[in-house]
Amino acid sequence: MSAGVDRGPEKTVFEKGSPGRCGLDLPEPGPLPLDAKLLRADLEGFPEMSEPEVLRHYLRLSQLNYSAAADFYPLGSCTMKYNPVVNDKVAGLEGFVASHPYAPIELVQGNLRLLRELEEWLVEISGLASVSLQPAAGAQGELAGIKIMRAWHEDQGKPRSKVLIPASAHGTNPASAALCGYDCVVVPVGDDGLVSADAVREFLDDEVAGLMITNPNTLGLFEPAMGEITAAVHEVGGLVYMDGANMNALMGVARPGDMGADILHVNLHKTFSTPHGGGGPGAGPLAVTEQLEKYLPSPRMVEKDGKLDWEYDRPDSIGPVRSFYGNFGILVRAWAYMKACGGDGLTEVTRMAVLAANYLRVRLEQDYDLPCDGPCMHEVVFTDKKLEGGVKTLDLAKRLLDYGFHAPTIYFPLVVQGAIMIEPTESEPLETLDEFADAMIAIAREAREDPGKVKSAPLNTPVARLDETRAARHPRLVWKAEESA
Ligand SMILES: *Cc1c(COP(=O)(O)O)cnc(C)c1O
């Protein structure tokens, strides 16, 4: 927002303007072909503003929002990277937008070919045999994946009762396993933040349906024992689910299938640069080994004589998990992104994401405590241990807003006390990484010299520090005249 006059918080339209002002002059309408009793003479309290006032009001409101398009957004595990605008342009092409999911199959061969190619590329990246594009989110991919795990065990004779989940797994993992009726058994992680094969073996028996492992784990570390772990799980007849939401740490460099994963989801709305939305658009395609292909959600795409079609009659399938074939518009965006990057480009994405996180790790390790030493993958986790003056992770997060940065993920992963989880992504220039590091270092200095300031942050944002609980439980989402008076 422009510097200079301090207008205070932007008022609502009901508090602005003046009677008689009008945004748009239209010619007086002639007699309307409506019954007079259907017409409203006046609208009480209707805001009356001039056109520039309206334009400026909404432009200012739009800028109160924090977005990856406007600023650096280092929210760990969420991969808030820049989504190239050309992807939206491609998804908006008439042939995509105007085609209907019930259109005759002959008329949408191009759309299906795009989905087929996307499946093939994800097969290549995952090192697994088959992909379903249907799940609409990472968590839904997990749910579908664990349902497949269960279906497979049922076919072996019994569903088994337990799923092993390392303490450093993403929170959605135990939720997905529990939803499928499994008891979740937490495998402790070592002081180095890693899962050891011995720790997994402790819990292995013939009641273990499988292991759900996030790799890189939520500490941003690659699990070096992955091969040994997957072999041990397979030995007792279990399956390995790998959470691949953060494939921008691996893609083009290492393949989950080669590490022994049987089931994997990837998040298109992270690695493959499509929009995230509060439970909204997104896609969490699911990849599986050959033996599990028949359980994938229906319908599945099949190709006969060069023609693509949907196969609905799949007796072993876990059934559909979403309407039609998934979030088509999002799948188009991911396709466009992958097409633009090319195979070498996607490998470069991984290298740059890992480099950026390690750059911040090295720039900040003097001022911020690193719970786990050594190189990280696409994200780096610090704690508030070194911050002085009683300044905590939450205070740091709030103070960063004053410096113009979105806060990192905080207090997650749970295995680290006071965690500050930073994911810079590959799409930021060096200058931005430096500005962010400078701000973090400046806040560490403020904590030493003027901790009260950090603890009362944010000081420059449209609203001051909120009562987090009340803001979440009793949000005020509607403006009411009597409350603002
Ligand atoms: C984001 C994320 C998920 C969940 O994905 P959603 O699309 O938000 O459901 C699962 N696991 C990991 C590691 C993630 O980062």
DSSP state, 392? -
The CA distance from 272 to 235, in Å, is 34
- For ligand 1, is residue 138 a contact (CB within 6 Å)? yes
Cβ of 28: how many Cβ atoms within 10 Å? 5
State the DSSP H helix or E strand holding residue 213, giving kind and residue range, or none if neither: strand 208-214
> Does the Cβ of 137 fall within 6 Å of ligand 1?
yes
For ligand 1, atom 5, name the residue with the nearest CA. 138
- Give the pLDDT score at 278: 58
The one-digit pLDDT tens for each residue of the chain (485 residues) are 445 677 777 888 888 889 889 888 788 878 778 888 888 877 777 889 999 999 999 999 988 878 888 889 999 999 999 999 999 999 999 999 999 988 999 999 999 999 999 999 999 999 999 999 999 999 999 999 999 999 999 999 999 999 999 999 998 999 999 999 999 999 999 999 999 999 999 999 999 999 999 999 999 999 999 999 999 999 999 999 999 999 999 999 999 999 999 999 999 999 999 988 655 689 999 999 999 999 999 999 999 999 999 999 999 999 999 988 899 999 999 999 999 999 999 999 999 999 999 999 999 999 999 999 889 999 999 999 999 999 999 999 999 999 999 999 999 999 999 999 999 999 999 999 999 999 999 999 999 999 999 999 999 988 899 898 998 999 888 888 777 66
Q: Ligand 1 atom closest to Cα of 284?
A: 7
Asked if the peptide bond before residue 320 counts as cis, ω within 30 degrees of 0, the response is no
DSSP class per residue in 232-282:
HHHHTT-EEEEEETTGGGTTTT--GGGGT-SEEEE-TTTTT-----TTSS-
Query: What pLDDT is attached to residue 8?
Result: 75
Q: What is the C-alpha to C-alpha distance for residues 422 and 380, in angstroms, rounded to an integer?
A: 5
The structure tokens listed for 361 are 């790790």
What is residue 4's predicted lDDT score, i.e. its pLDDT? 66
Could you tell me if the CB of 168 is within 6 A of ligand 1?
A: no
CATH number of 85-339: 3.40.640.10
Strand ranges for 389-446 from DSSP E: 409-410, 420-422
Look up the pTM and report it. Answer: 0.91
Report the nearest-CA residue for atom 15 of ligand 1.
Answer: 77
Q: 139 CB less than 6 Å from ligand 1?
A: yes
In the CATH scheme, what architecture does the domain 343-471 have?
A: Alpha-Beta Complex (3.90)
Determine the distance separating the centroid of ligand 1 and the alpha carbon of 217, expressed in angstroms. 12
pLDDT of residue 483: 74
Residue 8's contacts (CB-CB under 8 Å, 6 or more residues apart) are none
* Cis status of the peptide bond prior to 216, with omega within 30 of 0: yes
Alpha-carbon distances of 308 from 264, 302, 305, 401, 404, rounded to whole Å: 25, 6, 8, 50, 49
| Distance in angstroms (rounded) separating the CA atoms of residues 287 and 296 | 9
Domain ranges of the chain: 13-24+36-63, 85-339, 343-471
